[in-house]
Copies of this chain bind each other. A is one copy, B any other.
Amino acid sequence: MSRFSQLPSNELFKALESAASKDTLPDTMTLLDAVRFNAEGLLPAIAQQHDTKEVLMMAWMNREALEETLATHRVCYYSRSRKKLWRKGESSGQQQHLKSAALDCDGDTLLLEVEQTGPACHTGRRSCFYLSLNDKQAHINSEPLIDPAELYGNQ
């Protein structure tokens, strides 16, 4: 039994600030009950390639997507435009296999370490963050690995 298990959900992340690696934490379902999904029931999830540490993309998860991701290790987001679960790669084949997941200190953002097959971005680029900018000018920092027409066919 974790000494943190009896706490109300809204006090859990604050209490865990002083937890240490050796402490027994509440189980994942108890932690998910305390996660601070936004008003739309969503949590931002950052995907990082586990070995190169490149940040690939940021997308959103509802609780169902998060539970499915943790259970299957195949990353599943929630598509805000299509309003449904989005199993990354279901159209393009460019899946993400989960290596590890971590919540942040206030329980409102998730970091995923993943093995990304091919490009993460629908433009065919490895990462979605290809628009570099400084205070005056912007530039494209990477080219597509694959023509997006090849990724998505004639959808």
Contact = CB atoms under 8 A, between A and B. Distances in A.
Contacts of A143: 20-21
Contact of A21 (B26, B136, B140): B140
A1 interface: no
A27 to B, nearest CB: 6
Interface string A130-155: 11111111111111000010000000
Nearest to A142: B21
Contacts of A44: 44, 58
Interface of A: 16-21, 23, 25-28, 31, 44, 46, 48, 52-55, 57-58, 67, 70-71, 100-107, 109, 111, 121-123, 125, 128-143, 148
